[in-house]
Amino acid sequence: MVATVLSAQSTDRRVNSVTPELFRRYPSPLELAEAGQADVEAIIQPVGFYRNKATAVIGLSRRIVDEFNGVVPGTLDELVTLRASGGRPPTSYSATPSTFRGSPPTPT
């Protein structure tokens, strides 16, 4: 899901260049929810619109922690409660816990 946020107005190559470091430093929603804005911005800067995207991924992580006990939702009913991004509706990808750990979302 985080990769989907980062993909808005960016290329897969750019997103794939920043996600390994992002997930190395913040391997779970809880760690990313507690991340400093400036640190996340510095990591994702190459994807463009990095300030807004950092705010979005931190906010998404906080919602996952607060509303789903830190587990990425696995059902469509839960998934659609999270804000879609990148012009993709929530139904355009499936979410699994591995989605957060750096695997790109699976298009459906």
In this structure, how many other beta carbons lie within 10 angstroms of the beta carbon of residue 12? 11
**Neighbour count for residue 77 (Cβ, 10 Å):** 7
pLDDT for 87 beyond 60:
no
- pTM for the complete prediction? 0.76
Cβ proximity of 55 and 23 under 8 Å? no
pLDDT of residue 108: 40
pLDDT on residue 57: 94
